[in-house]
Amino acid sequence: MIRTRFSPSPTGMIHLGNARAALFSALFAAKNQGAFLLRIEDTDQSRSEHQFTDSLQDDLQWLGIHWQEGPGVNGPHGPYWQSQRHEIYMRYYQQLEAAERAYPCFCTDQELALNRKIQLSRGQAPRYPGTCRGLAKEKVVKYMAEGKAPALRFRVPVQTLIEFVDLVKGPQRFNSDDIGDFIIRRADGSSSFLFCNAIDDSLMEVTHVLRGEDHLANTPRQLMILQALQMRTAHYGHLSLITGDDGTPLSKRHGSFSLHDLREQGYLPLAVLNYLARLSHAYDEQKLMSFAELAEHFHLEKLSRASARFDLNQLRHWQKETVLALNVTDAWGWVGKNLQADIPEAKQNLFIKLVQENALFPQDAIKWKQILFGHELQFTEEQIAILKVAGKDFFIVAQKAVEKHGTELKAVLDELKMQLNISGKGLFMPIRLALTAEQHGPELLHIVSLLGVEEVLRRFKVASELCL
């Protein structure tokens, strides 16, 4: 059975890179009738916060990603909080020490920093020099008696090739001599990410791990840990990074791109879902799809090795597609029901249709509510100049046409064409400006219908007075 997972650290809001990894993992599990689990990696107690744990779960569910095992769902492989799995990790530390695959390290941060500086000055890749690797037991006992708390390092085998086939990047080879012994338990007793992440994946029977390519260097280390413990290993796939327009990894300097930020801006979950699903994954269908449809057409072999460039225009495209696909009830829920109270009941459906065709975000709906049912229009000097070019007579004729034909826009326009011998932009622009103080926007037919005869006449009168 296919089992995937998402294992975030609750140290901040979930960003798009993590959200995409969660989505791809959930899609792959769903496609194969497998299970997707959520595990909270909160071993870093100094940085983990409950508010972020609650937020990331809420954001995932908002996005339409649901887990079959994890917080709130439980399952046979819990607990799903790493902070509650300390005793489990201790057993495996003891196994590694007993097999002499791990050893205590008393090196200080200052000593390690100095070694790193020396190696870099020699043009060497920094790695642990093995200072405590052969430390005599008497020394260990002495240091412990002096109250020195050691970290625990994994003893990397020498001259060994670590090979695996990456689900995205293909065959990978690492030389153990380039890695160096690494910490699996910190001096304060807390578990390192490398260790507990690998142990949990194995114990929770995770079969496929999809994560960012920044974790690629961790994979040989985790494979060595699991092989030393004779534990099952997963298949790993490392997703290309998401970059900004400048080609560097997407970060705060490119803007706010957490799921929380997108929610606050009014993006719809299906829009974000469709956009993320296409970042590094090729879909034959370019239509708006549900989670189930995206899963059906998800294929690991269609994951790209090239970096995925974040494209705000594409995100806005999927937002537009999603807004257009909303039914009336969902559209009202999106813009906020408070808006509904300010619009005559008989015109609510037409107004929401106008909003769907001309708005990307709820604030756009508020803008059109104010234009059509709110305050007096405010014209810029440029707009007044356009109205004056049309002239006072234009709006006098327009008023008479509306008095004669009401909101039958075609008849009103035909009347203006016939009497003033104008057409095209010279006909439509003055009308649009007079009715909305906007040079672009919804169809005039919708605007006239929503305003009604009396308000159209009043606005034409105001425009004619501006032409004096």
* Alpha carbon distance 408, 412 (integer Å): 6
* Alpha carbon distance 27, 33 (integer Å): 10
Query: Among 196, 78, 58, which Cα is nearest to 50's?
Result: 58
pLDDT of residue 11: 82
pLDDT of residue 246: 77
Residue type for position 162: I
- Residue 379, Cβ density class (10 Å: 0-12 exposed, 13-18 middle, ≥19 buried): middle
Query: What is the separation of C-alpha 85 from the centre of its chain, rounded to a whole number of angstroms?
Result: 29
Classify residue 84 by its DSSP letter: G
> What b/e string do you get for 56-68 counting C-beta neighbours within 10 Å, with b at 16 or more?
bbebbeebbbebe
Q: What is the dihedral of CA 52, 58, 61, 65, to 10 degrees?
A: 0
Query: What is the separation of C-alpha 333 from the centre of its chain, rounded to a whole number of angstroms?
Result: 22
pLDDT of residue 46: 54
Residue type for position 155: R
Residues present in the chain in total? 468
Q: What is the dihedral of CA 416, 455, 461, 445, to 10 degrees?
A: -20
- Answering whether pTM is above 0.75, one says yes
Residue type for position 336: G
pLDDT of residue 254: 57
Query: Among 87, 97, 5, 8, which Cα is nearest to 44's?
Result: 8
* Alpha carbon distance 375, 378 (integer Å): 9
Query: What is the separation of C-alpha 220 from the centre of its chain, rounded to a whole number of angstroms?
Result: 28
> What b/e string do you get for 180-198 counting C-beta neighbours within 10 Å, with b at 16 or more?
bbbbbbebeebbbbbbbbb
* Alpha carbon distance 223, 442 (integer Å): 59
pLDDT of residue 255: 58
Taking the CA atoms of the chain, what radius of gyration do you get in angstroms? 32
- pLDDT tens-place values along the chain, 468 residues long: 999 999 999 888 899 999 999 999 999 999 999 999 999 998 766 565 678 889 999 999 999 999 999 999 989 999 999 999 999 999 999 999 999 999 999 999 898 888 889 888 888 888 999 999 999 999 999 999 999 999 999 999 999 999 999 999 999 999 999 999 999 999 999 999 999 999 999 999 999 999 999 999 999 999 999 999 999 999 999 999 998 877 787 765 555 578 999 999 999 999 999 999 999 999 998 999 999 999 999 999 999 999 999 999 999 999 999 999 999 999 988 988 778 778 888 999 999 999 999 999 999 999 999 999 987 899 999 999 999 999 999 999 999 999 999 999 999 999 999 999 998 999 999 999 999 999 999 999 999 999 999 999 999 999 999 998
pLDDT tens, residue by residue, 78-113:
999 999 999 999 999 999 999 999 999 999 989 888
Query: What residues contact 456, with CB distance under 8 A and at least 6 apart?
Result: 402, 407, 435, 448
CA distances (Å), origin 245, targets 171, 249, 307, 422: 30, 9, 11, 46
Neighbours of 103 (CB within 10 A): 20
CA distances (Å), origin 10, targets 39, 337, 409: 11, 33, 57
